[in-house]
Amino acid sequence: MVGKRILVIDNGSYECRVGWSDSKEPELRFRNVLTKPRKDRKKEASQQGSAEGSSAAAAVETPAEIQVGNDITNIEAVRAHLKSPFERNVITNWNHQEQIFDYIFTKMGFEGQERIDHPIVLTEALANPNFCRQQMSELLFECYGVPALSYGIDALYSWEHHQQKQKKIADALILSFGYSTTHVIPVLNGKLQLEHVRRLNVGGYHIITYLFRLMQMKYPVHLNAITISRMEKLVHEHCHIAVDYKEELVKWAQMDYYDEHIMKIQLPYNAVTATNALLTAEQKQEKRRELAHRLLEIKNRREREKLREDEQQLFVYNKLRQLYEQKKLDKFERALQQQQIGTLEDLDSLIATINLRIKRAHDRAQSAPRPSKQQEKLDKMPKPPEGVSQADWLAELHSKREQLLGRKQARQQQRSEMAKRHTHAAQERMRIISSLAKSEKRRKANGEEEDDGFGMNDNDWDVYKRINRYNDDSDSDADNEQLLEFEKILNHYDANFDDGNSNAQAQSAAENYQLHFGVEDIRVPEILFQPSMIGCSEAGLAELIAFVLKLFPAGEQQRLVDHVYLTGGCAQFRGLKERLTKELLEMRPFQSTFAIYESDEPTLSAWLGACMLAREPNFGKTLFTRQDHQEHGSEFFREHRASNLFYPTPKD
C-alpha cells in the first residue's frame, strides 16, 4: 500500500473532481451527469462512425451509447435526458454511478490494466446512510478491485485545507454551500458534532431552477431561448446576495433606480428573419408582384411549347389526309398503323380536336391579360355611396368605429365587474336571477302549468343576455366583424389612420429579444435565507444558524462563532459574507465578537484538503482494505478527522 499513488475523488452532485494526491490541482473535472442518446441518434452515430472508418479503439474509448461529463458536447440538446446518480447529495442510482466510475478510470488512463491498483479517497454526504456507503464500498472493491478506501466529508476536507495557513483552530462553525444542500456544521475541539449538524435542502440547483422558472414566466415568448445553461451563467456571474434585502427591494421599486440599474440581456437574435418582418407593406407587395409575374411567364412558356407540339402533330395528320386524298391507300394504311390510329374517321376527329385546341390557344394569347388579383381586390373595396364625398364618408366610418370600440370596452368593463361580487353589476345580476326563480316557485305552488307570459315578447329573452356573465358571444362577434371591416376600409383610404397595432413593430426588433434582469439578481439567491419563497417550509440560513447555536451552551456558542467558515460553490456569491455579518450581529448578544472567514478556493478546497490529508504520514490509518470490508461487514469504514462517524446498523 505504501508508496502507491493515491487517487482523490471529490464526488460532488454538481461537479466531480478527480486527481492524484501529489498533484497541484485535479486532472479531471466534469459535471456529474450522464446521458443516453435516443436510439435513432445512436444508430445514426454508428453509421457515421463506420462511414468515416473510425478506429475501433476510439469507439471503445468514448462509447457511443452513453455520454458522461465532458463528453457531452451540447448539454442543452440533451437537457431532458440528463441523468445523475444523485438524489439531493446522496448517491442513490448505482447504475449511473458505475458509468461515472467507468468514465473516471478510463480518462485517468487505467484502460488496459487489470484492476484499479491504487487506494482511493472519496468524498460522501454528511451522515451518508449506511446502505449507500455499503453499496459504494461493494462497487469499488468488487467491481474495480480497489485495494483500499477512505471516506470523508467535503466540507471537513475544505476546513482542513483552510487550517493549513492558519494556526490549528479547534473550534469552528462551518457553513457549506452545496449544489443541492446547505449545511451548518459545528466543530468543537477538532471533532465534528454530528448530532448538532443541520442541513437545509436548498442549494445552487434550486437557485438556478428558480431563476429559470421566473424568466420563462416573465418572457413566455422566449421560452426556448431561456435555457438552464444561460440561467446558470447569469447566476454565476451576476447574482449576488443583498445585505439588506428589504431595503434593496424598496430601491428597485423606484422607477429611476430601475432604469439605472436594470441589466438587459440580449438573446441570440437572427437578423435575417427580422429583415423579412421589417419590410414595409409596399416592399412586400412588390415582392409578391414579382413572384406572380415569374409564375405567369412559366405558364406562358409551357403553353407556347404545347402549341408548337400541336402544330407539328397537325402537320403530320394533314399529310396523312393528303395521302388518302391522293389515293395512295396501302401507304396510308401503313402510316395509320404506325401512328396507331384506327380508321379515317378517327383521323378526322383527331385533326378537328387539335385544330380547336390551337384556335383556343391563339384566342387566349390575343385577349388582354386577365386583371390581376390586386385589381380585383381594389374593385371589391367598398366605395363611398353616391352623393357623399369621400371625406364625409370616412369621418362617418371613424365615428362608427369609435362607437364600436367604446361598446367593446364597456363590455369588458362589465365582464370584469361581473366577475367580482359586491359590484353594482353583479348585484343587479343576482337580483334578476332571484326574481326569475321566484316566479317559477309561484307556478309550482299553484300545482298547475300556469303560463306567466314569459317569452310572449321576444324582448323577454334579453334578460338572459343581461345575466349571462360572458355575454360577448353573439353580439360582440358581429361587432368585431364590423370593426375589422371598418378598419380595412380606413386603412385603405386614410393614409394617417392608425389602428394601434402597428406601433409595436416600429420598435427595434432586437430589443424584443432582450431579457430584463433586475430584481432577480438579489431575488434568486435570497431563497437561501428565505426558503419560503419557493414554498419550502424549512428554516432559512440565518434562522438555522441561530437554531444550531442554541443547541450549545453559551461558552461553546462563542467558541463556534469566533470562527465561522464559508465554503462550497454557492459561497462565491458576492455579499454573502456581509449578509452573514449582519445576521450574526443581530442574533449574537450585544457587543459580543465573531469572525467570518471565506475559503479562498470555495469549489476546489475540498479536493485540495483531501489531498493534504492523503499526503500525511499517518494517512494509512484512515484507509480500510478489502479484507477489512470482508471481515467487519460491508458498511465498515475507518473514522478520521474529516470523516463521518461510524454507527454500525444494529443486528437483530
Partner 1 sequence: MEANSTKPKRSFKRPFAFPKNCVYRPLRQISNMERNLKLPAERPTYFTLNAPPSLVPAKKYSDISGLPAPYADPHTKLRFANADEYASMQHMPSDIINGYLTVRGYTSAVG
- CA separation for the pair 109, 142 (Å, rounded): 20
Residue 28 binds to partner 1 (criterion: CB under 8 A): no
Interface pick for partner 1 out of 29, 42, 88, 238 (rule CB under 8 A): 88
Residue 217 binds to partner 1 (criterion: CB under 8 A): yes
Residue 92 binds to partner 1 (criterion: CB under 8 A): yes
Interface with partner 1 by CB under 8 A: which range of 270-278, 360-368, 457-465, 519-527? Answer: 519-527
- Compute the half-sphere exposure of residue 190: CA atoms within 13 Å on the CB side of its CA: 8
Q: Which is nearer to partner 1, 98 or 601 (CB)?
A: 98
17 bridge partner residues: 10, 29
Residue 263 binds to partner 1 (criterion: CB under 8 A): no
Read off the C-alpha cell for 190.
477538532
Q: How far is the CB of 150 from partner 1 (least distance, A)?
A: 20
- The residue among 122, 181, 124 whose CA lies nearest residue 150 is 122
- CA separation for the pair 566, 113 (Å, rounded): 40
- The three-state secondary structure class of 510 is helix
Residue 470 binds to partner 1 (criterion: CB under 8 A): no
- Compute CA 620 distance to the chain's CA centroid, rounded to the nearest angstrom: 48
Residue 33 binds to partner 1 (criterion: CB under 8 A): no
Interface pick for partner 1 out of 20, 29, 49, 135 (rule CB under 8 A): 135
Residue 113 binds to partner 1 (criterion: CB under 8 A): yes
566 bridge partner residues: 175, 598
Residue 132 binds to partner 1 (criterion: CB under 8 A): yes
- CA separation for the pair 525, 590 (Å, rounded): 29
- CA separation for the pair 404, 398 (Å, rounded): 10
Binding mask 409-448 for partner 1 (x = CB under 8 A): -------x--xx----------------------------
* CA 131 to each of CA 9, 92, 105, 128, 635: distance values in angstroms, whole numbers, following the listed order: 20, 10, 24, 8, 7
Read off the C-alpha cell for 610.
483531501
Residue 120 binds to partner 1 (criterion: CB under 8 A): no
Interface pick for partner 1 out of 45, 75, 82, 143 (rule CB under 8 A): 143
Residue 453 binds to partner 1 (criterion: CB under 8 A): no
Which residues are CB-contacts of 246 (< 8 A; sequence separation ≥ 6)? none
Q: Which of residues 218-257 bind partner 1 (CB under 8 A)?
A: 218, 220, 246, 249-250, 252-253
Task: Report the DSSP pairing between strands 120-124 and 148-153.
Answer: parallel
Residue 200 binds to partner 1 (criterion: CB under 8 A): yes
35 bridge partner residues: 67, 82
* CA 472 to each of CA 412, 415, 460, 465, 469: distance values in angstroms, whole numbers, following the listed order: 9, 9, 18, 9, 9
Instruction: Give one DSSP letter per residue of 255-277, joined into a string.
Output: HHHHHHH-EEEEPP--HHHHHHH
Q: How far is the CB of 492 from partner 1 (least distance, A)?
A: 30
Interface pick for partner 1 out of 164, 300, 482, 649 (rule CB under 8 A): 649
Residue 110 binds to partner 1 (criterion: CB under 8 A): yes
Binding mask 376-415 for partner 1 (x = CB under 8 A): ----------------------------------------
Interface with partner 1 by CB under 8 A: which range of 194-202, 357-365, 382-390, 570-578? Answer: 194-202
- The three-state secondary structure class of 113 is coil
Task: Report the DSSP pairing between strands 172-177 and 564-567.
Answer: parallel
- CA separation for the pair 375, 151 (Å, rounded): 84
Q: How many residues bind partner 1 (CB under 8 A)?
A: 78
Buried b / exposed e across 232-270, counting CB within 10 Å, b at 16+? Answer: bebbeeebbbbbeeeebeeebeeeeeeeeeeeeeeeeee
Q: How far is the CB of 194 from partner 1 (least distance, A)?
A: 5
Q: Which is nearer to partner 1, 124 or 608 (CB)?
A: 124
Residue 314 binds to partner 1 (criterion: CB under 8 A): no
Residue 560 binds to partner 1 (criterion: CB under 8 A): no
Q: Which of residues 48-87 bind partner 1 (CB under 8 A)?
A: 56, 59-60, 63, 87
Contact by Cβ (8 Å): 119, 1: yes
Q: How far is the CB of 81 from partner 1 (least distance, A)?
A: 17
Residue 535 binds to partner 1 (criterion: CB under 8 A): yes
Interface with partner 1 by CB under 8 A: which range of 134-142, 151-159, 435-443, 454-462? Answer: 134-142
Interface pick for partner 1 out of 90, 215, 483, 549 (rule CB under 8 A): 90
Element spanning 524, H or E: none
Residue 131 binds to partner 1 (criterion: CB under 8 A): yes
